[in-house]
Amino acid sequence: MKVIPISKFKAQCLGLIEQVRKTRQPLRITRHGVAVVEVVPAGPDRKRKFLGDMIGTAEIVGDIVSPVIDLDEIEAYRE
């Protein structure tokens, strides 16, 4: 990870951000030798939202309403 002082980042901000985007390598910015912030490349844009991501990916096969086992096998139903 490349480390640069905040004054250099301020002077070359746009070029350094473009470098992070191209190389996908993070950049640590320091003030008086102490890390202040890290510039990291953005992740891929998601076209779908979290809720509903699986819409259209499943297929219902068979009966999903009836019990899986025979009701006569359940003791509570015998009486």
- The pLDDT of residue 46: 63
d(CA 72, CA 44): 54
pLDDT in tens, 32-41: 999 999 999 9
- The pLDDT of residue 79: 65
- pTM strictly above 0.85: no
Evaluate whether 39 touches 18 at the Cβ level (below 8 Å): no
| Domains of the chain, each with CATH number or no CATH | 2-39 (3.40.1620)
pLDDT in tens, 50-60: 667 777 788 88
* CA–centroid distance for 32 within its chain: 33
